[in-house]
Amino acid sequence: MKYLDEKKLKRDPRVRSYKTKTGDKFYRVSFKRTIVGKATPFEKQGFRTGHEASHWADAALHQAMLRHGKETNLTVAEYYEQWFNSNVAADNWSPDTIKTYGDKFRLYILPRFGDYKLTDINKIDFQNYINEMQQVERPNGYHGYSSRTLRIIKNYFGLLLDDAVDSELIPANRIRRTKIKDNIGVRNVDISLEKYNAAIDAAERILSPIELASFYLALFGLRHAEILGMKPKAIEQNSIHIEHTRTMAAPKGKDSTKTVASTREVPITLKMHNILMLAIQAAKTIYLENDKEFTNDSYIIVNQQGRPLNYTGLNYFFDKVSAEIDFHIFPHLMRHAFATFASRVAKDPKDVANILGHTDIKMTQKYDNGTDQGKREVIDMMDRLAK
């Protein structure tokens, strides 16, 4: 067949555009790949856009490689690369999901099982691996990875194996019934009122304006990404508007929060407002020193080079306070502390949930760890009732 005005796309040489006799523009795929020593052609025409043609080319090659894998028995690493790239190309995952999947496989799954043949994956080996992960010694006094992390590892690996089952490369997902104990490696999120106040005193004494603003934003229940995404335009006299966030997968920021409920107004005190104003002034000075423009849309939580801070940098502020009070604190601990102490005084638990950005009040109740003082008050109250 003769294609009129045919042109090869620069961004994807496998795809060519062409025109019909009526002047309509279409796209076609035409390329070859050597699979099992044999040149295999891939051809199809009639696509309305180049993107559709490229997507078909990726999917067709993926399926051909899977058929090849069925003959030669792909390793987990080989299948993961095809599975991962196929989902990314098909736009099935968000940027955060792409990073999360990539990190979990790179750190926990591929180092141990990457060289395994898909057909060799079995429950015994994976259960042994999970058992090891439940006992491994980790920094900051942790003993074992958390039950949540281990379930994520199992679920992500299971998704890959389920896909291999659907592709008829293996008969079953053999790790499905792997057992994971509850409450393993749980991070301590309990803090007494005494330690809480000691942390505030130390923070106000040793932290810089930007560092102190980060600390207080955590005290008011904000998440990592919400603190890192704070901008001057979000701050009012009596409240801050939570909408813009910065995550590890979106370091340049995004105008969306974790959930719909996470987009919210959080009331602040005059003291908090003054702390944020000092942080803005400090950030503005840093921007100017680095020949950068500071606007109402600039990030407040930055380093001395005027670059937005990352997760590690934020944790470092809290490590400085930890060293002062000889007690390990971190941003999420202070979020839990807010839920615990606020729940003691709130007339309506939903108000606390709204400040934290929780869709379900049950999540807020999980964050409320209770306190020794609270337990004593309950006993005292019951004792008074008994009299």
Asked if residue 27 is part of any domain, the answer here is yes
- 148 and 276, same structural domain? no
- 67 and 81, same structural domain? no
- 340 and 207, same structural domain? yes
Higher pLDDT pick, 386 / 115: 115
Amino acid at 214: S
- 87 and 22, same structural domain? no
Give the pLDDT of residue 378: 40
- 220 and 345, same structural domain? yes
116 vs 106: CA distance, rounded Å? 15
Give the pLDDT of residue 76: 94
- 157 and 121, same structural domain? yes
Read off the pLDDT of each residue in 153-174 and give the average, rounded to a whole number.
Answer: 90
- 312 and 220, same structural domain? yes
Asked if residue 22 is part of any domain, the answer here is yes
CB 233 within 8 A of CB 253: no
The CATH number of the domain where 231 resides is what?
A: 1.10.443.10
Q: Taking Cα atoms as reference points, which of 105, 83, 100, 88 lies closest to residue 249? A: 100
Give the pLDDT of residue 37: 59
User: Distance between alpha carbon 141 and the CA centroid of its chain, in Å?
Assistant: 24
Give the pLDDT of residue 369: 57
Res 383 pLDDT > 60: no
- 366 and 219, same structural domain? yes
Among the ranges 193-197, 282-286, 310-314, 351-355, which has the highest mean pLDDT value? 282-286
Asked if residue 371 is part of any domain, the answer here is yes
- 369 and 275, same structural domain? yes
- 134 and 252, same structural domain? no
Task: Give the SS3 label for residue 188.
Answer: coil
Q: Each residue of 229-256: pLDDT tens digit?
A: 999 999 999 899 998 888 777 778 777 7
Res 140 pLDDT > 80: no
**For helices 193-206 and 311-325, angle between their N-to-C axes, nearest 10 degrees:** 110
Higher pLDDT pick, 260 / 120: 120
Res 204 pLDDT > 70: yes
Give the number of domains in the chain: 3
Read off the pLDDT of each residue in 96-110 and give the average, rounded to a whole number.
Answer: 91
SS3 content of the chain, % helix, strand, coil (to 5): 55, 10, 35
Give the pLDDT of residue 226: 92
- 100 and 51, same structural domain? no
Among residues 112, 147, 166, which one ends one of the domains?
166
pLDDT over 90, % of the chain = 42
Give the pLDDT of residue 379: 38
Read off the pLDDT of each residue in 54-70 and give the average, rounded to a whole number.
Answer: 76
Res 275 pLDDT > 90: yes
Asked if residue 384 is part of any domain, the answer here is no
Asked if residue 178 is part of any domain, the answer here is no
Res 31 pLDDT > 60: yes
Q: Which two tokens stand for residue 362?
A: 């049950």
**For helices 331-345 and 193-206, angle between their N-to-C axes, nearest 10 degrees:** 130
Asked if residue 187 is part of any domain, the answer here is no
pLDDT band of residue 142 (cuts 50, 70, 90) is: low
Show the domain range for 149: 77-166
Phi-psi region of 18 (alpha: psi -120 to 50; beta: other; left: phi over 0): beta
Rounded to the nearest integer, the mean pLDDT of the chain is 84
Res 116 pLDDT > 50: yes
Give the pLDDT of residue 231: 95
Q: Each residue of 33-47: pLDDT tens digit?
A: 776 557 789 999 999
Higher pLDDT pick, 281 / 73: 281
Q: What pTM value is reported for the model?
A: 0.59
Give the pLDDT of residue 364: 64
Give the pLDDT of residue 227: 93
- 112 and 36, same structural domain? no
- Element spanning 242, H or E: strand 239-242
Give the pLDDT of residue 199: 93
Q: Each residue of 349-378: pLDDT tens digit?
A: 788 888 888 777 676 666 555 545 544 544
